[in-house]
Amino acid sequence: MIETDVLVVGAGPAGSTAAKHAALGGAKVILMDKKSEIGSPKRCAEGVSKKGLKKLGIEPNPRFIAKELDGVRLVSPNGTDVWMTSEEIELPEAGYILERKVFDKFMAMDAARAGAEIKVKTMATGVIKSDEGFIVTCESMGKEFDIKTKILIAADGPESHIGRWAGLKTAQKAVHMESGIQYEMCNLHFERDGVIEFYFGSCAPGGYVWVFPKGDDIANVGLAVIAPKANKPAIEYLDDFVSKSPITKDAQAVEINVGGDPVGGMPKKIYDDHIMVVGDAAGQVNPLTGGGIISGMTGGMYAGQVAAEAIKDENYSAKYLKKYDSLVREDIGEEIRKYSIVQEYLLTLSDEELDDIAAEFQNVNFSKVSTTQLIKSLIKVSPKAALKLGKIFL
């Protein structure tokens, strides 16, 4: 029996951040991941904001930054596009495309440097609750063993088993789970350098197509769809886009990534006695964009900090750990709630309505690139949007 104060299951960015902050707070921490290589395979378009990294105290490193961004291009179903780059507006705050296979390792190394013990290729196969915490049954390289922990942090992704095994209802409904697929490709033909592109409408029902540049002719090209809106597999939508887009006419895929993206928001309860749930496992994802790196790491940070405090105070009750829930909902909960309403609204729009909005956007002078700025502009040009979203964003 291995004993520890805090056990974090899942070494993605959220889990590594939780382990790091728990260790910095003086707790004995084990961080485990079922993969033999942390960060691989990636299941992400890899975009983050500079502001988000700064908020988390992470210094950009050339080793994990694949591309610095210069703005956004939005494309409606009929090809009408809206450019928001340094050619049109000032960009005081852009973002990066990461190399997740490197970034995730860096975050795990940060946790190790803070004092956490890392266990790779170690899978949790069961959870038993006791009066003193949890006993997690593990398997690694053909060997089975148990880890006894006072606090368990579940960071095991959108298909999370840990929270469910521990008695929490964290599973997302199918209607709130986007099906995502992505190629990493070379030989692309970009119109402008360093611009992320989004394509909306029936090319990706319930979601959008993204083109996220990672180099001179390299990009992640992917999409996400919601099952009730899609009438064929996600890969067929993606292959159709790739075959028709001038950007990808000569492109070749060198990697394929698939996975689910939970966009239904945070469950009602993401903590209990001796346990907290973070990241995708806790629905800490922007429902509008599907992005979850920064928000998941934010959840991990608060969970790690609260775990360390709980260890010091020798109090692992749900009442004590509720502090984590309060902190994370105060920070990102309202944003998730508002963007969930926007996502529901966008699901009601036809291709023709999206084309009309793009046409109206041609006359809008954007002052900066942000999701909130886009929504406020949408409200101004669309009476329907004003009716549905005006009270929330204006």
Note the pLDDT of residue 90: 65
Kindly state the tokens that stand for 195: 């611009």
User: For residue 89, is pLDDT > 80?
Assistant: no
Assign 228 a pLDDT band (cuts: 50, 70, 90): confident
pLDDT tens per residue across span 122-160: 999 999 998 899 999 999 999 999 999 999 999 999 888
Kindly state the tokens that stand for 120: 């790779």
User: For residue 214, is pLDDT > 70?
Assistant: yes
DSSP result, 307-337: HHHHHHHT---HHHHHHHHHHHIIIIIHHHH
pLDDT tens per residue across span 167-208: 999 888 888 889 999 999 999 999 999 999 999 999 999 999
Neighbours of 13 (CB within 10 A): 30
Distance CA 90, CA 86 (A): 6
* Percent share of the chain, pLDDT over 70: 98
Q: Are 226 and 204 in contact (CB under 8 A)?
A: no
Note the pLDDT of residue 122: 98
Residues 62-87 have a mean pLDDT of 92
310: Cβ contacts below 8 Å, ≥ 6 apart: 150, 151, 316, 320, 321
Question: For the chain, what is the largest distance between any 2 Cα atoms, rounded to a whole number of angstroms?
Answer: 66
* Percent share of the chain, pLDDT over 90: 82
Sheet holding 47-49, edge to edge: 47-49, 95-98, 65-68
Neighbours of 216 (CB within 10 A): 10
Note the pLDDT of residue 373: 81
DSSP result, 182-196: EEEEES---SSTT-E
The residue to which tokens 């956490």 are assigned: 116
User: For residue 229, is pLDDT > 90?
Assistant: no
Assign 316 a pLDDT band (cuts: 50, 70, 90): very high
Assign 35 a pLDDT band (cuts: 50, 70, 90): very high
User: For residue 326, is pLDDT > 60?
Assistant: yes
Identify each DSSP E strand in the chain by its residue range: 2-9, 29-32, 47-49, 65-68, 71-75, 81-85, 95-98, 117-119, 123-130, 133-140, 143-154, 177-186, 196-199, 208-213, 219-226, 252-262, 271-272, 275-277
User: For residue 91, is pLDDT > 90?
Assistant: no
Distance CA 289, CA 394 (A): 20
The chain-wide mean pLDDT, for the chain, equals 94
pLDDT tens per residue across span 265-311: 999 999 999 999 999 999 999 999 899 999 999 999 999 999 999 99
Note the pLDDT of residue 297: 98
Note the pLDDT of residue 92: 54
User: For residue 104, is pLDDT > 60?
Assistant: yes
User: For residue 80, is pLDDT > 90?
Assistant: yes
DSSP result, 49-97: EHHHHHHTTPPP-TTTEEEE--EEEEE-TTS-EEEEETTTS--SS-EEE
User: For residue 356, is pLDDT > 70?
Assistant: yes
